[in-house]
Amino acid sequence: MRRISKIALLSLLTSACGDLGHGTITEEPSGSADVPYEQLNAVRGKSGCRVEPNPVRQGGDYTIGVSGMPRNARLVVAITNRDGETSVEGTSDARGTASFSGTATVLGAAEVSVSIFRKRGARVAATCSFDVISADAAICGDGVCEAPEDCNSCESDCGACPPVCGDGVCEAPEDCMSCESDCGACPPTCGDGVCEAPEDCMSCESDCGVCAPTCGDGVCEAPEDCMSCESDCGACPPTCGDGVCEAPEDCMSCESDCGACPPTCGDGVCEAPEDCMSCESDCGVCPPVCGDGVCEAPEDCMNCESDCGTCPNDRCEPAINTSNSGRHKAGENCRRCHDGSGKPPFFSIAGTLYDGINSSTPVVGATIHIIDARGRELKLTTYQNGNFYSRDSNIVFPVTTFASRCPDVQDMSDPVSQSGGGCNSCHTSGDRIHLP
């Protein structure tokens, strides 16, 4: 048996087995670990080994990783250094990899060879090497900047060297203040109290003083004014009382020059020659004129066919099923009591619908259409005694109205004024509101 190396392999780790110990293979193994020649040939050119870390400090641990081996192959790892050779054996896992760990004790270079053991002997499948350095030696790339490392010998640990003033290259943080030889002389600095070219009053007022106003530069500055420099300050405004009405003078700002103002539309006073055509805001909306070709409320097809066209025949409403009694006093002027002055509730419009002009038979379930002066439509239902009424106080008179219950439609020929909200005050016996 060959002795264990001073490099001291400590452990063998694989996925297939545990610690296999240390030593040299002295006889041919038997069993499933024998590797067929075909499998051995299959890994040529693919196998390899790697030592981490490399270099390794004396007394430090390292790991030899082996890959590309046949699966479940018996392996021999030999490490050769100046003290001789040490070997250990193990088995690759199902992926053809194995891992061997040890502690470095011998300074200097070490060679690693990985052999696959077979019946006729061992064949070297992979080689690698590593270096063992003293425990206090600096390693470039370990993230620690240690002597004798510096920014020139090991930038990865010690960082990039700062720029050197005088090397002819202007690099940050060098500038004209810290390194004129590399970056050149600094330009004049506005605010240093010295007016140096190319500084002037325009570019550096703090050093060179305020520029004197220049008539014609488009800026009106004291002592310039409209009298001394019209091009910068503009024409002087007109003077009220000089007998000349000049913009922006007008009748409002200067009556002495421009005279009294004519009536102003929008001031809330309707003054001649203002009227509803020229100033609706002061004089109100002009009433619609039937025949002017414009159909305006309260005009409709019933009261102004020339503007609004012939009324269609599809205005009838189907009969409405109602159980409301309509209360009392059918055919009487409801607004005599319901005028809002007493206990009875206010009715803005009310009446009774019969089935003939001289009839006393009520029409039940008909619809009374009310279209007010703003064009808003209100629909009322006739109840069991023919009565209809509305408590809507927002109705704007005059209104137009018609009654419908399919197939019948009956128009009221004239608009209803405010005083006509009580329909039965006019439509008494012999001239009833009727449908048809």
Average pLDDT (118-134) is: 85
* Rounded Cα distance, 189 and 377, in Å: 81
- Provide DSSP, 131-153: EEE-TT---TTSS---TT--TTT
CATH superfamily of 9-133: Macroglobulin (MG2) domain (2.60.40.1930)
* Rounded Cα distance, 108 and 127, in Å: 17
Q: Tell me the CA distances in angstroms from 257 to 226, 250, 262, 376, one per residue in order.
A: 22, 8, 15, 51
* Rounded Cα distance, 160 and 45, in Å: 40
pLDDT at residue 418 in the model: 66
Q: Identify which of 202, 165, 197 has the alpha carbon closest to the alpha carbon of residue 181.
A: 165
Chain centroid to CA 241: 59
Q: Are 231 and 222 in contact (CB under 8 A)?
A: no
pLDDT at residue 420 in the model: 63
Q: Give 77-94 pLDDT, tens digit per residue.
A: 999 998 888 988 899 999
Domain boundaries, the chain: 9-133, 312-434
Q: Are 75 and 87 in contact (CB under 8 A)?
A: no
Q: What is 312-434's CATH number, 1.25.40, 1.10.3470, 1.10.10, 2.60.40?
A: 2.60.40
H/E stretch holding 158 reads: helix 155-158
Q: Give 395-420 pLDDT, tens digit per residue.
A: 898 999 999 999 899 988 888 886 66
Residue 9: pLDDT band with limits 50, 70, 90: very low
Average pLDDT (237-252) is: 88
| Topology match between the domains 9-133 and 312-434 | yes
- In whole numbers, what is the pLDDT of the chain averaged over residues? 82
